């Protein structure tokens, strides 16, 4: 496995290739939707499966277990990016959550580190703590860090222990009451829960763009076009209707 400093460098390199800087938090799903070669599929998978990836010379597909929390899904997406861009020796992988760290293979360990550094590069975390924490890290600071970088509590604590900002003993009281602690300090709890069941099936990225191109060039019938979209769980496009609360264009608005 690569040294941590090299994995961090890889994560920064990929962020920059996507047009992101080193210090800002990343909206990873919005980012991935703009990468031409990537398709992301959200689908409820088995409890032990975090996600998967498949790639060849032209296509890169990421599968996300949509039954997991938003924080975990973000981590999984970054984890799969490591496999897609830095593990050329594999064409695909199903990523299993291992309870026993000793059973985690070197590629998975590397991808976990990469995911942590992609969401919160070493330099960015150091800078944020230096400028936003007055003394020793407490629960309010943990919430602030995980909310800023979009990390699950588990990922945040693991990283802070690994970077020696916290001891394992100090974090024992921080591993429960996770959503409640966010509420207390005025944050949304979306990060700590999975999306509602009706939103756990969807696809975005290259597959959807290609399907639309086929329709625009009249290379598929309307029926086939709709079939392709429905296969990708995009009934919202097929049956398109205005969503509740959707932004409306206001001719009279003054900016």
Per-residue model confidence as pLDDT tens digits over 28-77? 999 999 999 999 999 999 989 999 999 988 899 999 999 999 999 999 99
**Tokens 């709890």 sit on residue:** 189
CA angle centred on 213, ends 210 and 217, rounded to 5°: 145
Residue 236: its pLDDT value, please? 94
Same domain, 221 and 136: no
Q: pTM of the entire structure?
A: 0.93
Query: 234 lies in a domain?
Result: yes
Give 92-148 pLDDT, tens digit per residue. 999 988 766 667 889 999 999 999 999 999 999 999 999 998 888 999 999 999 999
Same domain, 93 and 191: yes
Number of residues written out for the chain: 255
Query: 151 lies in a domain?
Result: yes
Residue 88: its pLDDT value, please? 85
Bigger pLDDT: 255 or 220?
A: 220
Q: How far apart are CA 183 and CA 179, in angstroms?
A: 6
Helix runs in the chain, H state only = 4-17, 28-33, 70-86, 106-119, 122-132, 139-149, 153-162, 178-184, 206-216, 222-231, 235-238
What is the pLDDT of the chain when averaged over all its residues? 93
* Enclosing domain of residue 191: 4-198
Q: How far apart are CA 223 and CA 238, in angstroms?
A: 10
Q: What is the mean pLDDT of residues 160-188?
A: 96
Same domain, 28 and 102: yes
Same domain, 119 and 179: yes
Residue 161, phi then psi, degrees to nearest 5: -70, -45
Same domain, 218 and 122: no
Same domain, 107 and 231: no
Query: 9 lies in a domain?
Result: yes
Query: 105 lies in a domain?
Result: yes
Q: Give the other-Cβ count within 10 Å of 26's Cβ.
A: 22
> What is the CA 134 to chain-centroid distance, rounded?
29
Please say if the pLDDT value at position 150 is more than 80.
yes
Q: How far apart are CA 62 and CA 108, in angstroms?
A: 15
Same domain, 182 and 132: yes
Query: 62 lies in a domain?
Result: yes
Query: 41 lies in a domain?
Result: yes
Residue 255: its pLDDT value, please? 63
- Total domain count for the chain? 2
Query: 245 lies in a domain?
Result: no
Same domain, 84 and 152: yes
pLDDT band at 241 (very low <50, low <70, confident <90, very high): low
Same domain, 101 and 219: no
Query: 149 lies in a domain?
Result: yes
Residue 104: its pLDDT value, please? 81
Q: Is 189 exposed, middle or buried (0-12, 13-18, 19+ CB in 10 A)?
A: middle
Q: What is the mean pLDDT of residues 19-31?
A: 96
Q: What is the mean pLDDT of residues 183-194?
A: 96
Closest Cα to residue 108, out of 57, 153, 53, 66? Answer: 53
pLDDT band at 245 (very low <50, low <70, confident <90, very high): low
């Amino acid at each position: 496995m690569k040294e941590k400093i090299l994995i961090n460098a890889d994560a920064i390199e990929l962020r920059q290739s996507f047009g992101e800087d080193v210090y800002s938090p990343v909206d990873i799903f919005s980012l991935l939707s703009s990468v031409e070669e990537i398709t992301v599929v959200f689908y409820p998978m088995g409890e032990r499966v975090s996600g998967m990836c498949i790639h060849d010379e032209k296509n890169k597909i990421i599968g996300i277990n949509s039954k997991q929390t938003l924080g975990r899904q973000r981590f999984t997406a970054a984890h799969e990016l490591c496999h897609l861009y830095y593990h050329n020796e594999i064409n695909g992988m199903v990523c299993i959550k291992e309870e026993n760290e000793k059973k985690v293979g070197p590629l998975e360990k590397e991808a976990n580190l990469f995911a942590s550094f992609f969401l919160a590069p070493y330099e960015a975390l150091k800078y944020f703590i230096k400028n936003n924490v007055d003394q020793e890290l407490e629960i309010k600071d943990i919430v602030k860090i995980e909310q800023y970088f979009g990390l699950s509590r588990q990922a945040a604590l693991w990283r802070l222990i690994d970077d020696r900002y916290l001891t394992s003993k100090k974090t024992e009281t921080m591993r429960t009451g996770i959503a409640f602690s966010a509420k207390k300090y005025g944050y949304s709890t979306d990060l700590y829960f999975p999306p509602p069941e009706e939103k756990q099936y969807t696809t975005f990225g290259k597959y959807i763009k290609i399907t639309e191109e086929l329709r625009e060039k009249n290379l598929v019938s309307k029926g086939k076009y709709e079939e392709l979209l429905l296969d990708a769980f995009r009934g919202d496009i097929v049956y398109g209707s205005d969503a509740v609360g959707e932004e409306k264009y206001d001719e009279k608005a003054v900016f």
